[in-house]
Amino acid sequence: MNPLPGPHAPSTAPSSAPAQHAEVRVVATEPGGEPATLGPAALFIVFSRMALVGFGGVMPFAYRTLVERRRWVSAQDFASMLALAQVLPGPTICNLSLMIGWRFAGLRGALASLSGMLAGPIAIVLLLGYAYQRFGDIALVHDALVGMGAVAAGLLLSTAVKMALAVFAKERGFASTASTAVIAVAAFAGVGLLRYSLIVVVLVLAPPAIFLAWRQLK
């Protein structure tokens, strides 16, 4: 009954994933096809790396690393974990780190992923905060920040576009594709254009979305 991903051994049993529904349980492979070792230490290192390159938010980098490069999770799995991470209270990226860490190595994995996500960035923020106190604001720094901010905003949007492309590439049949599109567009419009609260949008859209998915499952 519960949608949250449970922990289980990632390395074995290449799942013959049912074509339609993202039942892709974890098959952790490096790009070369080698099974990855995913103990807490490995999770800590990978999440640290993602966090330390994650300028302007880690989500785009998490998607790139976990889905595109290492293929630890499928685009569909990432999207459904992301949805839960967004709905639960707390920073989305922290919830997502906990879920992915938990899936591979239980509680220790969850804590390792979250610590990796936070340790390096906290040190950097403190260093920069110290530098700011010492050196004040310099025009050059300000100008650079404006340009970086514009790119960072594009980064987040591009992750949404890529995720949408991956999701629609897996859709089969007109009715299913159309209902997926309607729900995605409604979620975008509700929060992005009409500025309704995210909670309201999720509460309104989730029941029909889940009902439609339920009907399509055999």
Partner 1 sequence: MSDDDSVIGGIATHFALLSMMAIGGGVIMLAPDIQRYVVDLHHWITAEQFAAAYTIAQASPGPNLLYVTLVGWWAGGWAGALVATLAIIVPPATLTLVLLRASRAGGVSRFGRALQAGLVPVSVGLLGAGGFVLMKSVDSDWRQVAISCIAVLALVKTRINPVWLIGAGAVCGIVGLV
Which residue bears the tokens 């991903």? Answer: 5
Contact in structure between 120 and 52 (CB atoms under 8 Å): yes
Cβ-proximal residues to 149 (8 Å cutoff; 6+ apart), any chain: 56
Q: Which residues, 33 to 52, sit near partner 1 by CB under 8 A?
A: 51-52
Tell me the CA distances in angstroms from 201 to 77, 89, 206, one per residue in order: 21, 15, 8
Query: Shortest gap between Cβ of 125 and partner 1 (angstroms)?
Result: 5
Query: Shortest gap between Cβ of 88 and partner 1 (angstroms)?
Result: 6
Query: Shortest gap between Cβ of 144 and partner 1 (angstroms)?
Result: 4
In DSSP terms, which residues pair with 35 in a beta bridge?
A: 29
- By the rule CB under 8 A, 9 interacts with partner 1: no
Q: How far apart are CA 152 and CA 158, in angstroms?
A: 10
Binding residue (CB under 8 A) for partner 1 from 3, 14, 32, 33: 3
CA 5 to chain centre: 14
* Phi, psi of 201, rounded to the nearest 5 degrees: -60, -45
Query: Shortest gap between Cβ of 32 and partner 1 (angstroms)?
Result: 17
* Three-state SS at 178: helix
Pattern 91-130, partner 1, x by CB under 8 A: xxxxx--xx--x----x--x---x--xx-xxx-xxx-xx-
Nearer to partner 1, 28 or 62 (CB): 62
Query: Shortest gap between Cβ of 43 and partner 1 (angstroms)?
Result: 14
* Phi, psi of 68, rounded to the nearest 5 degrees: -85, -40
- By the rule CB under 8 A, 24 interacts with partner 1: no
Whole-angstrom Cα Rg for the chain: 19
Binding residue (CB under 8 A) for partner 1 from 148, 172, 173, 175: 148
Q: Which residues, 59 to 98, sit near partner 1 by CB under 8 A?
A: 59-61, 64, 68, 76-77, 79-80, 82-95, 98
Binding residue (CB under 8 A) for partner 1 from 17, 23, 36, 108: 23
Cβ-proximal residues to 135 (8 Å cutoff; 6+ apart), any chain: none
Binding residues for partner 1, total number by CB under 8 A: 112
Pattern 153-192, partner 1, x by CB under 8 A: xxxxxxxxxxxxx-x-----------xxx-xxxxxxxxxx
